[in-house]
Amino acid sequence: MAEIAEDEPLSVDELAEFQAEGRAWAAVDADGSPVGYLLVKRVGADAHVEQVSVHPSRARRGIGRRLLETAADWGRGQGLVNLTLTTFDEVPWNAPYYRRLDFHDVPDDALEPGLFQIVADEAAAGLARWPRMVLSRPLV
């Protein structure tokens, strides 16, 4: 999956949009250095995790879980129904991790139009070369 690691990050303008709209959160260490972040957007009646990342040296410390809970709180505050995300199915620290956090698989035939479009866009970007899936967790 080297192509994924080499993928260009979002532009500063794109990140600024998330930040300006209150849909971006960063986790920092005791020195104030960033160790993780999460971006979320509204997709239909759901809060969709656009990106969540934790530095590998800080893994398994609950940082990702806290970021996801922050996004869930944001979604509840917006009156949204679910927290959704797309991920790689066969990467051990992806889908199994989210399932431990009460996310469940969303079958392709149950995708609402906005999520269907996200999956299609990801496939067009080449991500479908590896098994991917949509996961969801209720916010209510």
1 pLDDT higher than 50:
no
Average pLDDT, the chain: 88
Task: Specify the CATH class of 2-138 in words.
Answer: alpha beta
- CA angle 107–67–24, rounded 5-degree value: 95
Greater confidence (39 vs 60) lies with 39
Most confident of the ranges 33-37, 71-75, 122-126, 130-134? 71-75
Say if pTM beats, i.e. exceeds, 0.75: yes
pLDDT of amino acid 8: 62
Q: Are 92 and 51 in contact (CB under 8 A)?
A: no
pLDDT of amino acid 113: 95
Q: pLDDT tens-digit profile of 58-94? A: 778 889 999 999 999 999 999 999 999 999 887 777 8
Residue ranges of the domains in the chain?
Answer: 2-138
- CA angle 128–95–37, rounded 5-degree value: 90
Greater confidence (89 vs 38) lies with 38
